[in-house]
Amino acid sequence: MAKRPCKSLFEDRTFDSVQEALAYDETTHGFSLKDVTARLALDPYQRIRLINWIRTEHPAPSEAVALTGSEAFFGSDEYLKPALEDDPLLQIVPDDSSDSEDEEELEKADPPKDLATATRRITALQRKLQQAKQDLLYYRGFVSERLNLAGLADELKNTSVSTTTHAAVPLRDDDSHYFQSYAENDIHSVMIQDKVRTATYAKYILSNPEVFRDAVVMDVGCGTGILSLFAAKAGAKRVFAIDASDIAEKAAQIVKDNELDNIITVIRGKVEDIKLPDGYDHVDIIVSEWMGYALLYESMLDSVLNARDRFLRPEGVMAPSQCKMMFALCEAGELFKERIGFWSDIYGFDLSAMAKGVYDEAVVDVVGPETVLSQPVVVKDLFLGNITQKQLDFSSPFTVISTAERRTKVHAFVLYFDTFFTNTGEPVPEDTDVYIVRDGDPVLAEVWPVGGRPHQPRRMSTGEQLKGKGRPKVTSFSTGPASVPTHWKQTVFFLRDPITAGEGTVVEGTFKCRKSEDNSRELDVEIHYRVKDPEEPNAPSEAIVQLYKVR
């Protein structure tokens, strides 16, 4: 390595070796790469950034010598990209500059003539082997941590999509598996066949032609493009369908197959990074099905809010406009037996150790309406018109009161969410009840055109459409136990110590939710609570805390 040509860090001058280039920079410019690396205690990544920063930004030698290690570029991945192709300075160890003496020894062609010479060459080879092993470990770490092989593979495909604008996007580690999972057919099949979900979106879009007619619409996380198709059919002038996964290719084909490619443009990329086609800076409506388990799992809402801040015009409409996280007591006896209780007796053996981890993980499953033993309370009300990403990590007090008619073991808390759409994008009035879809409900079938005829929405009853002066027109659905089950199901938090509750038993506490530090698309939940007997409301009670992962 020391014999390879190497360019000075501060001049357009090339030397025969790394040693000569570094020595020149030190004697001529007063800059010692070795000394600065040692003084600032730079790790290999920071040292690479330093070299590329000098070669890119061309600072004065005195400025490079005066660095403190706190400069922003030491943490910027921008400077991990080589500024000089095949730069030998990026491939040497700062402590020994490739051991020039070893290099000279190994370059000798003659076989050793004595034991001392042979020993020197063996020592040089051992050092070289050890350095090669260190380099291998280093570059493996570099690739896995910084280049993200999964994201790199996606980019190398570089597939052009019909009627699309492609944005080359480096994926975060948290993103790669997430976007890959949405490239598969199965997940889209499940979502499309969730009739509560799909029919409600269709009902909102197709029954509000005054909102969508001649509008410019953005569909964030478009998947198959079904919401974009609805928007086009409702009269939208242009629709930009955004998705960062491979499903964008199929979405573009679907758009073409349905002869809507003159209206819908599929854009492959993360919404944080894409640009709209020329002539479009803003959109009138953002529609997205961003909700995850426990509403916030997968953190897709962050991307939707980014799109809102970048692209939605003032007074534009977010669809949905509002979501409420609902929280209640849940008997969950059958689910407890399925997930935990049965382990205690397996062919006469106690395998209950297998159930211990269940208390640390939220369980996503369907619970019946009869298992809910309190009126639900709102632990988070998200109005998409103004909520910020920072507010998605939250702590909320709650008080739930048992409705159990007799003393009952409460094995869990249950969390679900209600979703609201308004034709104006404004918040729903406080007295708005969510629409509960039940088996046989016409909403599950009414939006599908028959024989190519346009959709004719049925006449709604007074309770379904809010017609009061100044009140928005509301469309809604619930993922709670009272509704036809959705693919979101409910999120169940099992209690290590079940609550024995009778009518009027009060459970009060705090629900805390935040993005996981390990993976920003997962959630960390803390539930702090106390149980109060209604007959002795002032009696002291134990404070209990349980921690959960939603993943």
DSSP assignment of 360-420: GB-EEE---GGGB-B--EEEEEEETTT--GGGGSEEEEEEEEB--SS-EEEEEEEEEEEEE
Contacts by residues 131-136 (CB-CB < 8 Å, ≥ 24 positions apart): 131/93, 131/99, 134/93, 135/91
Q: Residue 415 in contact with residue 326, Cβ under 8 Å? A: yes
Q: ω into residue 82 within 30 of 0, thus cis?
A: no
Instruction: Output the CA–CA distances (angstroms, integers) from residue 22 to 32, 66, 94, 417, 462, in the order listed.
Output: 7, 18, 11, 62, 82
Please choose, from the candidates 135, 134, 150, 312, the residue with its C-alpha nearest in 3D space to the C-alpha of residue 218.
312
Catalytic site residue from 105, 249, 289, 331: 289
Distance (Å, whole) CA 74 – CA 107: 36
Residue 536 is among the residues annotated as catalytic for this protein: no
Block residue for tokens 């690396």: 37
Measured over the CA atoms of residue 443, residue 445, residue 449 and residue 451, the dihedral's sign is negative
The two tokens of residue 373 are 């033993």
Q: Which residues contact 200 (CB under 8 A, 6 or more apart)?
A: 419, 421, 437, 443, 475, 476, 477
Q: 3-class secondary structure for 139-160?
A: HHHHHHHHHCHHHHHHHHHCCC
The two tokens of residue 206 are 């197709």
What number of residues does the chain have? 551
Catalytic site residue from 78, 101, 103, 298: 298
Residue 370 is among the residues annotated as catalytic for this protein: no
Distance (Å, whole) CA 369 – CA 438: 12
CA atoms within 13 A on the CB side of 269: 19
Please choose, from the candidates 331, 398, 407, the residue with its C-alpha nearest in 3D space to the C-alpha of residue 369.
331
**Could you list the active site residues?**
289, 298
